């Protein structure tokens, strides 16, 4: 792992909750980066926080989809 390398994965805390309408939702908080070892047998994990509740999820680091503009497609 080099400090110049972009992480391949992101570490996130996932907390489930019920909103005011009774709908179950999840809140994801990014807490760090994850880099695979060159030999493919493990990972380096750099966290800025540790979860005390919820769960820890490791997700592939990919761009978020562009937000919808609200206009209907023709």
Rounded to two decimals, the pTM is 0.74
Dump pLDDT digits (tens) for 5-45.
Answer: 899 999 999 999 999 999 999 999 999 999 999 999 999 99
Domain boundaries, the chain: 9-60
Question: What are 10's strand-pairing partners?
Answer: 33, 59
How high is the pLDDT of residue 62? 86
- Whether the Cβ atoms of residue 62 and residue 53 lie closer than 8 Å to each other: no
d(CA 46, CA 33): 5
How high is the pLDDT of residue 63? 81
How high is the pLDDT of residue 21? 96
């Amino acid at each position: 792992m080099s400090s110049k390398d972009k992480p391949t994965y992101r570490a996130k805390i996932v907390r489930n909750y019920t909103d005011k309408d009774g709908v179950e939702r999840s809140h994801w908080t990014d807490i760090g980066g994850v880099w695979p070892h060159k030999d493919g047998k493990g990972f380096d994990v750099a966290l800025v926080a540790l979860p005390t509740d919820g769960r820890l999820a490791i997700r592939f680091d990919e761009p978020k989809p562009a937000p919808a503009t609200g206009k209907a497609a023709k």
